[in-house]
Amino acid sequence: MFTAMIMGLISCGGKAADAGKDTGNTTENEAQAGADAPVKADADSLIGFVAAQVGFGPRVPGSKSHEDCRRYLTERLKFYSVDTVITQTAPVTTWDGSALTAYNIMGRINPEASNRILLVAHYDTRPWADEDPRPENRQTPIDGANDGASGVAVLLETARCLKATPLKDFGVDLLLVDLEDSGRSGGDDEDTWCLGTQKWVDAMPYSPTDRPLYGVLLDMVGGKDAVFHREYISQTYAKPVVDKVWALANASGFADRFPNSIGGSVIDDHLYINRAGIPCIDIIESANPHTGSFNPTWHTTSDNLASIDRETLRTVTEVVLNLLYREAAQCSATH
């Protein structure tokens, strides 16, 4: 049923038939669930993280830019005192026959804590600007400021804030996945996307007793004036988590950014994490009013630093921080 429902969608692509439908089921208690985090996200810091990644150039798997960025991300996680940093390597073959190595980077905060949340973003970039309006650009690798660097920036800023004000007896796993964006567009090619995550779920560092409560994927979270609808696969397979996050966003004053309505259905890393048994949602701009799906810079050469909105990044990061501190407080109150 899962495969049948999503058949034919593309990575960061297909739009659900009922996009824009109001869910109508956020409860009053959920709507009052917000609590400010003891630290605030810093927009300058977030832009700096995006700029650092874009500064390496397109992070196409197998390139020096990709290698340099991978080193930078590992160093940043260690600088922010993430307890354990693991790099998982796995051989992959892309749809066009390229033999590559996927490098998934995972930082674990409070690894001994049984209650934990998984945060995910991909750090690789699209090798081809295949949606560019100019045909001559369609074989050009993209900078991936939004599609790649923005989600990673949220995870790095989260690590920075958690170093300043640590969580007590609550764990966070920061997963930076590789080879998300080298898939084949169109047709029934969903498994050509998210190759790093597919390898990660085959060797997850969890036992059945210490898996995260749930996961949150951050993808394309830096677009100008971006609005984040409830992504369709998230709503279908991890609805309680969607309800929790959207209610918290509403209570935090971000209802305009997180409307209570359904957006597109996206083949993304969360699909494979859900299949592996961890409920996981995708915070992604999937119902842009100008395109009907993604930000207009998607898979184009315009996905550069100039396209990034500081307030969009800050808002999404504030929701993530509020979520983590609230969950940690609730776990502490019950023990």
Q: Kindly report the CATH number assigned to the domain that includes residue 81.
A: 3.40.630.10
In 3D space, the residue among 270, 191, 193 whose CA is nearest the CA of residue 231 turns out to be 270
Residue 111: both structure tokens together: 């690894």
Q: Do 124 and 63 touch, CB atoms closer than 8 A?
A: no
Residue 20 has pLDDT above 90, yes or no: no
Q: Render pLDDT for 39-52 as a digit per residue (tens, 0 to 9).
A: 899 999 999 999 99
Domain that holds residue 105: 2-333
Give the β-pairing of 171-177 and 84-93: unpaired
In this prediction, residue 126 carries a pLDDT of 98
3-class DSSP state for residue 115? coil
- pLDDT confidence of residue 332: 78
What integer best gives the mean pLDDT of the chain? 90
How far is the C-alpha of 273 from the C-alpha of 179, rounded, in Å? 15
What pLDDT, on the 0 to 100 scale, is given for residue 14? Answer: 32
Say how many domains are in the chain. 1
| Cβ neighbours of residue 288 closer than 8 Å, sequence gap 6 or more | 223, 226, 227, 294, 295, 296
Is the per-residue pLDDT at 18 higher than 90?
A: no
**Please, which pLDDT band fits residue 185 given cuts at 50, 70 and 90?**
confident
Contact by Cβ (8 Å): 113, 169: yes
Sheet strand arrangement including 99-109: 84-93, 99-109, 171-177, 116-122, 214-219, 280-284
Rounded to a whole number of angstroms, the distance between the first and last alpha carbons of the chain is 39
35 versus 327: which is more confidently predicted?
Answer: 327
Bridge partners, residue 82, by sequence: none
Range from 33-47, 54-68, 219-233 carrying the lowest mean pLDDT? 33-47
Position 31 pLDDT exceeds 90: no
In whole angstroms, give the CA distance from residue 108 to residue 111: 5
Q: How far is CA 129 from CA 126, 136, 140, 302, in A?
A: 7, 10, 5, 9
